[in-house]
Structures are given as structure tokens and as C-alpha cells.
Structure 1
Amino acid sequence: MKKIFLLITLIFSTLTFSKEEDIQGKWITEKAKNGNQIIVEFQKIDNRYFGKIIQLTIPIYEKGHKLEGKTKIDLANPDEKLKTRLLVGINFVSDFTYNPEKDRFENGFIYNPENGKTYYCSISFKDPNTLIVKGSLDKSGFIGSKQIWSKIK
């Protein structure tokens, strides 16, 4: 009996469980259709979580684009005053609260710089180094898509 108890204790002690604070730090998104990936850094501010774009893997407009060779800006933003701001530095995901019962971050939003739209969003851990990020048209999350983001160490 002692051996079984010791074995169970060893198994559970080696498993890693994600904690709320594990979201803080740098994460990289899946590749977009154009091959770009966004590096996001999460921070906790006043009990809410925000993820700021800190880097793009393709930071300048490519050949053939009307802004070829220039740093990417928030061109698709519906607010005329924001169309010229740099994408690096904006809150890409914002306003999340952590729900310990569901072990996920909820009631947040994700901004799509490709079309200038903001969607409802929830985030959960697949494991300590992988996030499942679900953006949706509806608050309940039925109509949308998800991405897998990886932790950058």
C-alpha cells in the first residue's frame, strides 16, 4: 500500500498545472495567411489581463503593397485617427478576467488588424506552454475560430 501511495504521489508531483499567472510573459501566435506571426506580451493591470503586440515576424509591408517597405500600421482600423498608429505597441487582446472555476480567461476581446474588427475572446491553457485563444462574433463563443499560441522562453 505504501508503494502505491508513493507512486501516486510521485506522479502527481511531476505533473505541471497551469496557474493564472502563467499567462504573463511572451507568446507567439499561429501564422497568418501571409506568414506573419504576432508576438504578444501579457500583463496584469488592475485584476485584468492585456496582451500588447511587441513584435511582428514580418514588420514591414511587402513588395506590391501600396506601403511597400514601410513599418506596418493599423491601416484597417475604422477610427480614422488610429489608422496611422504602429501595430507594435497596441493591445491586441484586452480586458480579460480569470475564472478559476472554468480555469480560463474570459470576457475579453481580440483585435484583428487585418480587418480592423474587435471580437469577443476567451483564453485557456492547453498546457503551461500552449494557449487556446478563441475569438467569436457572439459573447457565448459559438460562432468563431480558435488559434494555438506558444510560450516564448
Structure 2
Amino acid sequence: MKKLVVIIFLSIYAIAGIAQEADKITGIWWNDEKTTKIEVEKKGGKYIGTIVYMIPEKYENGQPPKDDNNPNEALQSRSLIGLQILSGLEYDAGDKEWENGTIYDPKSGKTYECYVWLESNDLMKLKGFVAGIRMLGRSSEWYRTEL
């Protein structure tokens, strides 16, 4: 009976440790050009990223840029501020990465499959790719910051 209690306790401890590891991705991140801040948070058990800030130099006539490269004309007038660009990321404890997500690139108006990993607590690397082939893609680095 003691062994069963110890096993249950260790299992709960391990699950809590994995959850803490998975949540390391949450927070505010500069994009690689340091023009945009993205907030990564956990919603519905998955990780998403939303644009929360853009440098004033990106504004046009005092307004934040619009999603004018979106292939859906009905969405081209929406602001990039508040736009969710990362979605569906799930933590894989074995590979220590977040996978099965998508990333939307407002510059091209395209959405790509993506995965993410942390190089350090303050450096996140993302890779967007097509056709399920991780080698066919482009990487980006995001830097932890504050709002």
C-alpha cells in the first residue's frame, strides 16, 4: 500500500512539473524585428499568441496597420493589434517543444504549420513550415519582454 501511495504522489508531482515546463512559453515576446509584441497564453489547454503592441513607426495616419494582405477581403480592414497569429500549440514533454500549431504571417497573408522551442528563458524559436515537412520552412526568434 505504501508503494501505491508513493507512486501516486510521484505521478502528481511529475504532472505538475510538466505543466510548469509547458507554461514557460507564456508571456510577452518581441518578434525578431522588434517591431511587434506578441502575448502568448494558454487557452483551452493550448497555447495561442496575440499581437498586443506595434511600434508607432508602423502606424499609418495614426492608426495601427491593417491585415491588408489577408486573402479574405472581409478581413483586410481589421487591425493587426489584437490579431491572434499563433494558435493550437501543444506541449510535447518528450521533445521539449510546442507543436501542432499554426502561425499566421500578416506580411504575406498566409498561415503555416509551426512548432516552437525555447533556447533559453528569454529566447523562443519558431519554425513555420508547409506540407507537414519541417525542413521546408523558415525560422524566427522572439525575445521575452514586458508590455
CA distance in 2, matches of 1:131, 1:39: 13
1:147 positional shift: 1.1
Match of 1:4 in 2: none
Match of 2:54 in 1: 56
Q: Which amino acid aligns with 1:60?
A: Y
CA distance in 2, matches of 1:74, 1:45: 23
Instruction: Identify unmatched segments of 5+ residues in structure 2.
Output: 1-19
1:38 positional shift: 1.6
Q: Which has the higher strand share?
A: 2
Aligned ranges 1:1-153 → 2 under 5 Å: 19-31=21-33, 37-57=35-55, 58-61=57-60, 70-153=63-146
Q: Which has the higher helix share?
A: 2
Answer whether contact 2:101 2:113 (CA < 8 A) is retained.
yes
Q: Which amino acid aligns with 1:146?
A: S
What are the superposed Cα offsets for residues 31-83 of structure 1, whole Å, 9 maximum, x if unpaired?
1xxxx62200011011100000001123313xxxxxx5543000000111110
CA RMSD, aligned part only? 1.6
CA distance in 2, matches of 1:94, 1:49: 6
Structure 1 consecutive aligned stretches of length 4 or more whose deviation exceeds 2 Å: 68-71
CA distance in 2, matches of 1:38, 1:138: 27
The SS at the match of 1:78 is coil
Instruction: Identify unmatched segments of 5+ residues in structure 1.
Output: 1-17, 62-67
Q: Which amino acid aligns with 1:59?
A: K
CA distance in 1, matches of 2:71, 2:38: 22
| TM-score computed with the length of structure 2 as normaliser | 0.80
Count matched residues.
126
CA distance in 2, matches of 1:111, 1:131: 17
Taking every aligned residue pair, what percent have the same amino acid on both sides?
A: 27
Answer whether contact 2:54 2:64 (CA < 8 A) is retained.
no
The SS at the match of 1:22 is helix
